[in-house]
Structures are given as C-alpha cells and as structure tokens.
Amino acid sequence: MKRFLFITHLTPRAKRTPLRQSLIGIYEKALLAQSYPHWQVLQIGEEEKRSGNFVEVQTTAGTREEGFEQLRRIYARPDVRELISAADYIIKLDDDDIISPGILEKAAQFDFDCYYDEQHTFYDISSGIITQQQRPWIASTCIHRKVCAFDRYTGPGASPLENLLYSDHSKAWHTYYAGKKKQIADPAYPVYLRVLSPSSITSSTGNAAPETFRDVAFDRYYAYLKTFGYWKPAAVNGFDVYKPLLSGAWEKFSGQKQMPVPGTGFADRVSDRIRSLWKKS
C-alpha cells in the first residue's frame, strides 16, 4: 500500500478573484473523486482546520522571506511532521489545477522515485481546448518519493529551504532525477490538468490578477497562450466530468460562452514560421 500526501499553497482570500474561487472548488472536487483511498492534503492557507482528508495550517507571511521562514516553522510542527511521516509520496498541487481522479491508483502499481508527465497537458478556460506539449523539464505537479522531495538540494534553482520540493522544477528536477527510477505517465492518462486562465497573475503579466472580466487584457493573454505553441486538441481521459464545471466557471466570470482563441491554430503556426524565415532571409 502506497500513501500519498498532496501539498497546496492556497491563494490568500484577499487575492482570490471570483474565477479563482470557482477553480479552487473544482480542484477540491477532483481530489475528493480519487479512486484510490490512501491520500491526504496539506493546505497551507489562512486557517487551522481539519475536514476529512484535508488539513489546513495557517500562514500569515507577507514577504517572500517571511514566507520561507514560516514554511520552516510549519514543516517543523508536530502535526505536519506526522502527516509527512505517514506518506510515501509527495505531490505539490496548485489550487487552480486539476489532479486526474485515477492517477493515484495507476501510480500505486509502480515502484518509482518520480512519476511525471512528459507530455504536459494544458486547458485554456476561455476556449475549453485541451492540448499537450512536450517540455524539456518535469512539471511542477508530479509524484515524488518522499525521501526525494525532502532531499537536500542546493544546486541551480535551489530555494532558501534547500530541498528538492521547493526548488525550481524547470532547473533542478530533471538533473536531480537523472539515473533515478522515473515513471513517465501515459499521455492519455496525465497526472494533472494545468488550467490556464486570464485571471491568473502568471498570465496577466501584472502584479495583480484581474478581478473582473472587464479588467482582463486579452491581447496580453492571447500573446501568453501563443507561447504554448500550436493548440492542437488532445484526447485525454479522466477530465470530461470537469469540463462543464470549468465552462460554467468561465461563463459565470465572463458572462459569455467559451470561444476559439485567435492566433493559436495550425494555420497561424505555419504563417508565423513563414514570417520568421522571411525575416532571416
């Protein structure tokens, strides 16, 4: 029997947009839908509470430095140490992403140090398209053997906590796991769905997430989506039940149906390539 612990840093309530709040609800539904029973969730948030498999602990950090100092104290707490002690594997999961409901059952069949998606799976909430793209790094949501997750790491991309879990996944994890037991997920059954949204700070390129639909700078958001390349629809399993919830969250936020994203189709990709070659000639 393998036991899994999810770790999620909850978005502070003061910074949650209405769309983000809806996505948090879907993130929790996907966790509760796990077909494998041996899992718990450590949520680092603003309250001290337990509810079923969910354990929330409080942090009041303001600055980045304060955040790391509080994390040191959180991970030293007896109740948190007990949660970690009971786990065999650790999964860091953002509160706006969706874990595959059957992934723990699949992962439990293997012996591995890291179980991850080689084909990264993205969902754009404004259009409803799911696409997959290969990336030269391990995604931030993967399944780590516990001793690896909390192994000391001070190489490229290291964080002040000096462990692998909080290091930069795009700089550290591939190097760390070289030569270790890696299990690549079947692309048809990815570990998780990364949800892209114009209300996130990452996609907005600003210091604050857009609070309302009117605040969204769609030119910047569409430019952000183009960095993901050609949005060829991908057939993946396990997420169909969440599509109506996601489209409903978008309609509630925007007041409109999901629409195709301009500039991300195959013809656009070919056109961009031709323009690029023309400039070089």
Pinpoint the alpha helices (H) of the chain: 18-32, 64-76, 78-86, 103-107, 146-149, 169-177, 201-204, 218-226, 243-254, 266-280
Please indicate, yes or no, whether the overall pTM of this predicted structure exceeds 0.95. no
Contacts of 63 (CB under 8 A, 6+ apart): none
**80, pLDDT greater than 80:** yes
Q: How many Å apart are CA 254 and CA 247, to the nearest integer? A: 10
* CB contact at 8 A, 101 and 17: no
How far does the chain reach from its first CA to its final CA, in angstroms?
60
User: Which listed CATH number (3.90.25, 1.25.40, 3.90.550, 3.30.1490) goes with 4-268?
Assistant: 3.90.550
Strands 192-196, 98-99: pairing kind: antiparallel
pLDDT the model gives residue 162: 96
Residues listed for the chain: 281
Q: How many Å apart are CA 11 and CA 94, to the nearest integer? A: 9
pLDDT the model gives residue 279: 52
Band (201; pLDDT cuts 50, 70, 90)? low
Cβ-based burial of 134 (10 A; exposed 0-12, middle 13-18, buried ≥19): exposed
**47, pLDDT greater than 50:** yes
Tell me the domain boundaries of the chain.
4-268
Q: How many Å apart are CA 196 and CA 70, to the nearest integer? A: 29
Contacts of 193 (CB under 8 A, 6+ apart): 97, 98, 100, 121, 122, 123, 130, 236, 239, 242
Tens digits of residue pLDDT in 87-120: 999 999 999 999 999 999 999 999 999 999 999 9
| Average pLDDT score over residue span 174-186 | 97
pLDDT above 90: percentage of residues in the chain: 73
pLDDT the model gives residue 208: 66
Task: List the one residue out of 122, 64, 58, 100 whose CA is nearest residue 238.
Answer: 100
| Mean per-residue pLDDT of the chain | 90
pLDDT the model gives residue 276: 44
pLDDT the model gives residue 264: 62
pLDDT above 70: percentage of residues in the chain: 90
Strands 89-92, 129-134: pairing kind: unpaired
Considering 44-58, 193-207, 225-239, the range whose residues carry the highest mean pLDDT is: 44-58
Question: What tokens appear for 32 in the block?
Answer: 């509760």
Band (211; pLDDT cuts 50, 70, 90)? confident
Q: What single-letter amino acid sits at 65? A: E
**272, pLDDT greater than 90:** no
Tens digits of residue pLDDT in 134-173: 988 999 999 999 999 999 999 999 999 999 999 999 999 9
> Could you tell me if residue 229 is left (phi over 0), alpha (psi between -120 and 50 degrees) or otherwise beta?
left
* CB contact at 8 A, 280 and 273: no
